[in-house]
Chain A
Amino acid sequence: MRETETGLKSLMLAGLKGDATAHRSLLSQLAGYLRAYFRRQLARIGRSAADAEDLVQEVLLAIHTRRHTYDPVEPLTPWVHAIARYKLIDHLRRTRASMSNVPIDDAAELVAQEDQGGAESSHDLGRLLGQLPERTRRVIESVKLEGLSVAETASRYGLSESNVKVSIHRGLRALAAAIAREQQ
């Protein structure tokens, strides 16, 4: 577990500095752990594991949009685990399950197993993006899907760079909220 923590944390620290490769690698490793974690937890409380992938994606979005709440002097695994557990409990509450039977678990549970089986959630990215305001959607498509830089996107749509950054950030949070809404 200690090696896992060291590896994940160094990817996180690089990602926080803007290293996209490290960030992508972090998210895909975490996706594996999260998938195994949610399937296990949902099975343990007798719930369908079908929702696991929705939760994985919701947590990945939360990790990305709330990266600034990670304190670099602290270990990473408990931070991710706290988010995963919060989202699991929130999910169960939304789907009206009894809360009393979520077993207590600790950060070690999160990285206990990995499941990299290619997986798909019930959400459709196109449909989710369609719920965003026009400008936000176009900016996200340009920067996050087509891979244009912030500067290129800014000049493409006649916006300022900080405007583009704010739009992306708001858009991704709105996306996370839309995913949460769809699960109700």
Chain B
Amino acid sequence: MKTDDLIAMLGTNVEPVDGKYLLRAVGGAIAASSLVAVAAILLTFGFRADLTTRGALIFVISKLAFTVVTIALSAIMLTRLARPGGERRVSIAWMVLPFAAILLLAAASLASAPSAHWERMIVGDQWLECLLSIPIIAIVPFAAVIWIVRRMAPTDLRRTGALAGLVSGSISAAAYALHCMDDSLPFVALWYGGTIILCTAAGTVFGPRLLRW
């Protein structure tokens, strides 16, 4: 095939391109899969019974603050990584911030509690449920995000995969927060933070295989 023939073919009947497509597609995938994750929690576990009481609301909001900040930051990074050369415009340091913040808060909360309570604060009631639910529910957002990003052109597939895992884990953790009754900060830091990092690691591993174009 002559390159000139290929150019003639590509340059015939050129369709205009929607400049906002990438942002809308990635944003849409994240929004839609957030709804699916919340619905999955509602249908499997149900929301926590005391969700609307004042005492519970404070804890739910603080868990959501952590997870929603990670969703927002990783969504922004993902829209950059989805473009060729975008890896030069992302900074991983930003992603560490919410995790550092929750760890600090968890440490402060442990420091102010008697050491006899520490085990209970860290392990909680439902650590196993949390450890399993967040990664399992994250599969849906992960699939949706990967499916959309495959239409883009990421050139650093490991990092893009990692961010896809991070955003999916955060979406899943945010949805799980609506059910979870373990309210101590050390619990959130360890089991929410830990499972989100697990999802990120899985994304790093699968990214290069799933995203190749």
Chain A residues close to B by CB (< 8 Å): 15-21, 23-24, 27-28, 31, 35, 53, 56-57, 60-62, 64, 66-72, 78-83, 85-86, 90, 118-121, 123-125, 128, 143-145, 147-150, 165, 168, 172
Contacts and interface: CB of A to CB of B under 8 A. Distances in A.
Contacts of A72: 19
A20 B85 contact: no
Nearest to A148: B13
Given A60-B7, A79-B84, A90-B212, A20 B13 contact: yes
Contacts of B12: 20, 143-145, 147
Interface of A is mostly: helix
A160 to B, nearest CB: 15
B84 A82 contact: yes
Nearest to A127: B1
Contacts of B1: 57, 120-121, 123-125, 128
Interface string B187-207: 000000000000000000000
B14 interface: yes
A124 B5 CA distance: 11
Nearest to B5: A125
B3 A145 contact: no
A19 B14 CA distance: 7
A79 B11 contact: no
Contacts of A20: 11-14
B152 A66 contact: yes
B2 interface: yes
Interface string B1-31: 1111111111111111111011000000000
B3 A67 contact: no
Interface of B is mostly: loop
Nearest to B89: A74
Q: Which of A20, A57, A68, A90 has the most CB of B within 10 A?
A: A68
B82 interface: yes
A82 B155 contact: yes
Q: Which of A71, A124, A165 has the most CB of B within 10 A?
A: A71
A144 B85 contact: no
8 contacts: A23-B14, A31-B3, A62-B153, A64-B10, A67-B17, A82-B85, A90-B212, A144-B12
Nearest to A146: B12
A78 B85 contact: yes
A19 B19 CA distance: 15
A128 B6 CA distance: 12
Contacts of A123: 1
A66 B16 contact: no
A79 B6 contact: no
B27 to A, nearest CB: 14
A69 B22 contact: yes
A165 B152 CA distance: 18
A69 B79 CA distance: 10
A57 B6 contact: yes
A149 B15 CA distance: 11
B84 A18 contact: no
Contacts of B19: 16, 68, 72
